[in-house]
Chains A and B, each alone.
Chain A
Amino acid sequence: AQSVTQLGSHVSVSEGALVLLRCNYSSSVPPYLFWYVQYPNQGLQLLLKYTSAATLVKGINGFEAEFKKSETSFHLTKPSAHMRDAAEYFCATRSGNQFYFGTGTSLTVIP
């Protein structure tokens, strides 16, 4: 079965510092991969998705992710953190009609 693992349930960065949120996937076939963001008491919003067209995927709000098959990773990055980036981030994969979500990483941005 396909799955994703998010390393680090909590990440803290200073405002202006690099954001790196880790996601590893397990899949025997090229996967569909997604990153979502969730603000408190709200639904999930798509940040970006990988569908094999390009290994470096750019998303909204300055985020991007790089698909690395050799490392089975799809880490999310942003060069400079902003206070508004504080939220919960979920990595997900799709297999057929079902989606599988990681347990989430809570990002704190320190002023």
Chain B
Amino acid sequence: DGGITQSPKYLFRKEGQNVTLSCEQNLNHDAMYWYRQDPGQGLRLIYYSQIVNDFQKGDIAEGYSVSREKKESFPLTVTSAQKNPTAFYLCASRTRQGANTGELFFGEGSRLTVL
């Protein structure tokens, strides 16, 4: 079955530590996205990538970094510079070709808690 796999599902971090959240997709999608979700605030875009080796900042990129070395993978690093990293993180992807362009497909999310 094709889909998006995020890991880990739950992650605890001490203040001052960097952590990397994994996102892998086997949908052959070109575009991938990272969102942060906080209660009552909907989804906010952190970074997105349309093709390999290229990515753009979203609305809340400060304190985060990404890479896109492979089409299938778009890992997100939450750095110690992110002041309030406790949140639910969602990875998504979409195709940019064919008749079904448009919608995002989401992974199951990763919940990060800073202790």
Binding site for A on B (CB under 8 A): 4, 6, 31, 33, 35, 40-43, 45, 48, 50, 58, 88, 90, 92, 102-109, 111
Tally of contacts, chain A with chain B, CB under 8 A: 53
A contacts with B: majority SS: strand
Q: Complex formed: what's the CA distance from A104 to B52 in Å?
A: 32
B contacts with A: majority SS: strand
Shortest Cβ distance from residue A108 to the other chain B in the assembled complex, whole angstroms = 16
- Check A42 against B42 for contact (C-beta < 8 Å): no
- Among the listed stretches A14-22, A45-53, A60-68, A79-87, which one makes contact with chain B, having 4 or more residues with CB under 8 Å of it? A45-53
Is A70 in contact with chain B by the CB < 8 A criterion? no
Please name the residue on chain A nearest to B35 by beta carbon. A101
- Check A34 against B108 for contact (C-beta < 8 Å): no
Q: Which B residues are in CB contact (< 8 Å) with A43?
A: 4, 6, 90, 92, 106-109
Binding site for B on A (CB under 8 A): 9, 32, 34, 36, 41-46, 49, 51, 90, 92, 94, 97-99, 101-104
A46-B103, A97-B50, A98-B58 given; 18 more Cβ-contact pairs under 8 Å = A32-B102, A34-B103, A34-B104, A36-B106, A41-B109, A42-B108, A43-B6, A43-B106, A44-B92, A49-B102, A90-B42, A94-B102, A97-B48, A98-B45, A99-B33, A99-B104, A103-B41, A104-B42
Please name the residue on chain A nearest to B106 by beta carbon. A43
Q: Which B residues are in CB contact (< 8 Å) with A51?
A: 102
Closest 8 pairs between A and B when the two form their complex, measured CB to CB: A43-B106, A103-B42, A101-B43, A44-B106, A101-B42, A43-B108, A46-B103, A43-B109
